[in-house]
Amino acid sequence: MATFVRISCGFALVAGAAVIPAGGGAAAPDGPQKLQPASRITAGRAPTSRLAKTDRSLLDRTDGERIPVLVKLDHDAVASYAGGVPGLAATSPAATGTRLRGGDAEQAYEQYLAQREQQFTSALAAKLPSATVGQRLRTVYGGVALTLPANEVKKLLAVEGVVAVQRDELREPLTDSSSSFIGADVLQSGAGANGAPTSQAGKGVVVGVLDTGAWPEHPSFADQGVLAAPPAKTDGSARRCDFGDNPLTPAKDVFRCNNKLIGGAAFLKGYLEAFPDETYKSARDSDGHGTHTASTAAGDVLASAKVFGVERGPVHGVAPGSWLSVYKVCGANGCMSSDSAAAVAQAVRDGVDVVNFSISGGTDPFSDPVEMAFLDAYAAGVFVAASAGNSGPDAGTVNHLSPWVTTVAASTQRREFSAGLTLQSATATAQLSGASLTAGAGPAPLVRAGDVAAYKGGATCAKPAKKGQFTGQIVVCERGGNPRVEKGWNVREGGAVGMVLYNPKLQDVETDNHWLPTVHLADPAVLEFLDANTGITATITAGQANAGTGDVMAAFSSRGPGGLALKPDVTAPGVQILAGHTPTPGATAGGPAGELFQAIAGTSMSSPHVAGAAALLASRHPDWTPGELKSALMTSAVTEVTIEDGKTPAGPHEMGAGRIAVDRADQVTLTVSDSSSRMMSMADDEVRAVDLNLPSINAPIMPGRLSTVRTLRNMTDRTMTYAVASTAPKDSSISVPAAVTVPARGTAPLPVTIYSRAVVDGYLSGEIRLTAADGSPALHLPVAFRPSQGQVTLASTCTAKKVTLARTAQCTVTAANTGYDDAPVDLTTRLDPALAVTGVDGGAKLDGPREVSHDTTLRGIEPGAPDVAELDDRVWKPLDVAPDAIGDEEMINYDVPGFGYAGQTYQRIGVVSNGYLVVGGGTAQDVRIAPPGTDGEQAPDPARPNNVLAPYWTDLDGSAADGVRVATVEGGGVEWIVVEWRVNRFGTEDTQRFQVWLAIGEDEDIRFAYDAKDLPGGTKGFAVGAENALGKGVLRSEQPGPDLRVRSTGGHPGGVASYTVKLRGVMPSDARVTTSMTSPEVPGTTVVRTRIPVVAP
């Protein structure tokens, strides 16, 4: 076994935990200064396998409870297999041009997948006999579901054939006149009497809804005798219809599917293993969410829709003529990823054309099995609409970031249900209004829940009141903390006759099915009246339909940016949406039983509007692909939308391309879309993702100038010419040709160049507009970009801030590679006409009187190779600051003063529970249980994590221990960052203590310190040592003893190219020196401009 070399460094430890040069005689050091965590992270393949990523946070569990996971195997699913396996023809509709039909090629490839699965399960049984194989996902995803003890998940990645292990997560569903508001009435009319919507709008299209199921006897799903029988499945099998018996009738009357609701299946295998007490284990809905989304997308045309006995109709879905196929993937506690992925597979096999998924997820598409399943569905010709999420208005909260999904935000329509609230005291009166769908109440005494001392539910009405606490009163409750409807139930238990629900800050108001008369106020104005008056009575009027303000973003609607595509894609009505409900809600928050309709809010409600709109378009344009349907909806969307204040124009990170207008989408003559194969190869590429042919442009790195191309497809039989224009923010431009001509059924390129000299911290946005010469609807593409430099940086500095006419100055241009890959660069410096070049050096070439160029390749960073040697002196001293709790398989990132390591300077560290640091900070992919190699033979490798300092890397757990302590200490003129672990050996209470000391400054000085009286040990598969950013260094299985010092040798920084341009002023002017740089390692062109005015003598 290798041993560490001993060195003497002439340092001694002084009380107070500072390292002082021996004999320095320095004063006592200042006390340690604790550092605060910046973030926490709980941590040749087939094309889809190359995209798939492991969810490292799965490794956090240490107990033996059986948990579900999904395992992505190294093969493509049937829906995305484009060939490549000898002897097996392609099966993906994207490659074959036909839908999946269960033909010979598909059967042969499925047999091949079965063999691959058998090989995997055999290897699994040998290594993890406790694992149980569940659903096998062959049509989409390409993998299997497993359950196994949580403390054995760590071994799965070592099983042959596994490319990623992903969490089988429990996710949540995201919780009339809206159809006409989006223009669907134009496409629905024509066959209905007196202009009424036709029940056949959207005919010939199958809409699949993955949700909480549906109440099949609901009138929205009745067979009205106007729709034809659904087509037979291409594989010849029968459609599942598993809704079970109607629990509201005494007779046994199992629901039979019809020519409207053509199928229903429960996919709850994973869910029921965790929550076996689901009310209905069939596709029947006990929540109401699925019934609402299904009826919104494709519910029948109904003349009546009563809520609490009051007529609120008529009502109908966006595509009432479409067939519905329901897939129950959610129970009362949420939705498992494996169940959702299995349902996607079945939907593809069932011939579904459009999927609605009003469920969270997709924030990391490449480690999300459902999002990967949607990619396969897209390849199979299926359009997917998904909710953006309900975590707004904060930025960066949007769900479903993949470009193959249409992600839907929520905004208002022009109809609202509202009620008045009259407040009366002996000396004052106030009139307020809010949202309501209930009956009225009062006059009755008004009381604030938080003012009643005996009530334990507080201001938010979080607990049921005792009988008599609120008898005959209207109770004021604050929104937040618990479900809105539950608040009403809680005060009703105490005898309340009404509720005033208020928002503590400006938010949307909702029309829930409350248990008692309720008005929901947008702000806390009611509190001002309560504070100023006593003896108040209140009267709530009955809720009525009134005109409201449309196209206002809902405050709850999640915002971008997110990922490499522009998200959300569009917005649609998602506030006070009247649609179906289950008469048997299983939770208090579902409201009173017996109601078949409700008017609720959420991006869950907006997404089915887009699904229904896609169904209408697919019915009228059956040859359009999912990407073309998405393009039509985006490019024709209404952009006159505001944020929640009703005044400020919404941008693309709020509304996407805008609010859908399906009547305009039906008339589009151009589309912009891309293939699933290009998405597989480019969607996760930070440089190339901007070039995906999407109906939007998103540039998270825009270094000055960026050019891309959108390919326009003419959907008509005639040549089309469009005038092209753009808008851009201040100090920026979006350049496009003045016109473009696209041949009939052909394509033409639309080159786009974005330029910006804006200095901002964040995104800017603009728009490209195309106006047809023949009067067809105008189209637009939203553009978002963030001015920032990439891996290769560029700077320009001049010796003078101005130059006198006929005098000279010089400017130095510097390009630096901050990455590890070599970077070819092409540099050009151009002077304004007021300046002239008088000379160049540094290898640059004079190309003209005002132009200089330089081409070179900047080598990537070669970090120094670290080694570890023993110290004569001890550094260890307990760090006296408060600890930060750390769990098992967890990393905490800290921002720290700059320190040197392996030739680079860093200002962030990631402290991992398993006894190592990631220099520069890290992500979940940098959390690893054991060091690389085998027990006793550890060796560095290029696999993540890299840039590691490992005083004792092994399987450690901080969840039941002190944690980690991070601070700066100072003394004797030396300042250090000190990291101390006090964590347990996994599965024990054996605490391991050790430290890393990092000298602040550019020069590397790094120590590993150990308590000589309590050295770490007792584990297998450990390592002590260091790796650089490329995975080179030393890791040794030698039990710690003396303190250690890390020394890096060799290596070099990233390449730097620098040249000087000598210049002279030739005419008075406010001149500029502009340098541009291109490199394949950076998207676009990096541009820097230096102002150097020429002034008269």
* pLDDT value, residue 41: 56
**247 or 12: which carries more pLDDT confidence?**
247
Residue 378's H or E segment, with its range, is: helix 369-379
What is the tally of structural domains in the chain?
Answer: 6
Roughly what angle, to the nearest 10 degrees, separates helices 626-635 and 603-620?
Answer: 110
Which of 787, 804, 820 delimits the end of a domain?
787
How confident is the model over 353-365, as pLDDT tens digits?
A: 999 999 988 888 8
552 lies in some domain: no
Q: What is the DSSP string of 503-525?
A: -SSS--------SS-EEEESSSH
Phi, psi values for residue 527, rounded to 5°: -70, -35
Q: State CA 622 to chain mean position distance.
A: 31
Domain edge (last residue) among 485, 514, 547? 547
3-class DSSP state of 323: strand
d(CA 809, CA 828): 18
Residue 190 lies in a domain: no
**Could you tell me which of 599, 276, 560, 200 has the C-alpha nearest to residue 395?**
560
| pLDDT tens digits for range 418-477 | 899 999 999 999 999 999 989 999 999 999 999 998 999 999 999 999 999 999 999 999
Q: What is the mean pLDDT of residues 526-555?
A: 91
Spatial separation of the C-alpha atoms in residues 535 and 527, rounded to whole Å: 14
Residue 997, pLDDT score: 97
Domain check: are 1043 and 895 in the same one?
A: yes
Catalytic residue status for 74: no
Q: Give the residue-averaged pLDDT of 887-898.
A: 89
CB-count exposure of residue 640 (10 Å: 0-12, 13-18, 19+): exposed
pLDDT band at 50 (very low <50, low <70, confident <90, very high): low
Q: Which of 190-194, 236-240, 1025-1029 has the lowest mean pLDDT?
A: 190-194
pLDDT at 44 over 50: no
Name the token pair of 364: 């990391």
CATH number for position 146:
3.30.70
Check pLDDT > 50 for residue 28: no
Indicate the range of 173-187, 530-544, 591-605 predicted with least confidence.
173-187
pLDDT score of 56? 53
Instruction: Find the CATH number of the domain harbouring 503.
Output: 3.50.30.30
The answer to whether residues 452 and 542 belong to one domain is yes
Q: Say yes or no: 215 and 288 in one domain.
A: yes
Query: Can you give the pLDDT at residue 263?
Result: 97
Residue 953 near residue 932, CB atoms below 8 Å: no
3-class secondary-structure state, position 868: strand
Distance, in Å, from the CA atom of 627 to the CA atom of 409, rounded to the nearest integer, reads 18
Higher pLDDT, 397 or 652: 652
Whole-number pLDDT of residue 533: 93
What's the pLDDT tens digit per position in 925-935?
Answer: 688 877 876 55
pLDDT at 25: 27
Q: What is the pLDDT of residue 415?
A: 86
Residue 183 lies in a domain: no
Q: Are 252 and 385 within one domain?
A: yes
Residue 296 has pLDDT above 90, yes or no: yes
pLDDT exceeding 90 applies to what percent of the chain? 63
Please compute the mean of the pLDDT values over residues 1060-1087 and round it to a whole number: 95
Contact yes or no for 803/1095 (Cβ under 8 A): yes
pLDDT band at 1072 (very low <50, low <70, confident <90, very high): very high
R_g over Cα of the chain = 33
Q: Are 37 and 979 in contact (CB under 8 A)?
A: no
Same domain for 386 and 270: yes
- Residues 1018, 964 share a domain: yes
Q: Is residue 45 part of a domain?
A: no
Pick the catalytic residue: 289, 316, 581, 609? 289
757 shares a domain with 897: no
What does the angle CA 865 – CA 866 – CA 868 come to, to the nearest 5 degrees?
150
Which one of 625, 654, 683 terminates a domain?
Answer: 654
| Residues 529 and 575 both lie in one domain | no
The per-residue pLDDT for range 499-516, each reduced to its tens digit, is 999 998 877 888 888 999
Percent of the chain with pLDDT strictly greater than 70 = 91
Per-residue confidence (pLDDT) for residue 26, from 0 to 100? 26
Q: Where residue 772 sits, what CATH number does that domain have?
A: 2.60.40.2310
The secondary structure element, H or E, covering residue 44 is none
What per-residue confidence (pLDDT) applies to 879? 93
Give mean pLDDT, residues 253-258.
96
Sorting pLDDT into bands at 50, 70 and 90, what band is 343?
very high
pTM for this one? 0.73
Q: Is a pLDDT exceeding 80 seen at residue 985? A: yes
Assigned token pair, 834: 């007021």
The helix/strand/coil state of 737 is coil
Predicted confidence at residue 186, as pLDDT, reads 63
Triad 945, 949, 950: Cα angle to 5°: 90
Among the options 74, 76, 185, 211, which is catalytic?
211
- At residue 960, the pLDDT reads 83
Task: Please indicate, yes or no, if residue 181 is contained in any of the structural domains.
Answer: no
In this structure, are 369 and 386 located in the same domain? Answer: yes
pLDDT band, residue 8 (cuts 50/70/90): very low
Q: What is the DSSP string of 462-503?
A: -SPPPTTTTTT-EEEEESBSB-HHHHHHHHHTTT-SEEEEE-
CB 724 within 8 A of CB 781: no
CATH (domain of 643): 3.40.50.200
Asked whether 9 and 17 are in contact (CB, 8 A), the reply is no
Domain range for 702 is: 661-787
Residues 118 and 210 in one domain: no
What are 902-918's pLDDT values in tens digits? 988 999 999 999 999 99
pLDDT tens by residue, 829-884: 999 999 999 999 999 999 999 999 999 999 998 899 999 999 988 889 999 999 99
> 934-968 b/e with 16+ CB inside 10 Å = b?
eeeebbbeeebbbbbbbbbbbbbbbbebbbbbbbb
**Structure token digits, residue 280:** 């209905």
- Whether 904 and 825 map to the same domain: the answer is no
pLDDT digits (tens, 9 = 90+) for 563-577: 899 999 999 999 989
Question: Are the CB atoms for 836 and 1063 separated by under 8 Å?
Answer: yes
For all residues of the chain together, what is the average pLDDT?
88
The single residue of 604, 631, 696, 765 carrying the catalytic annotation is 604
Q: For this structure, is 1058 an active site residue?
A: no
Residue 289 annotated to the active site: yes
Closest CA to 995 of 967, 970, 961: 967
Q: Are residues 206 and 264 in the same domain?
A: yes
The pLDDT, as a whole number, for residue 396 is 87
Using CA atoms, how far apart are residues 851 and 1073, in angstroms rounded to an integer?
A: 10
- Mean pLDDT for 590-619 is 93
In a domain, 52, yes or no: no
Q: What is the pLDDT averaged over residues 1018-1044?
A: 89
pLDDT per residue as tens digits for the range 113-122: 988 888 898 8
Q: Which of 52-66, 87-101, 618-632, 1077-1091 has the lowest mean pLDDT?
A: 52-66
Q: Is residue 898 part of a domain?
A: yes
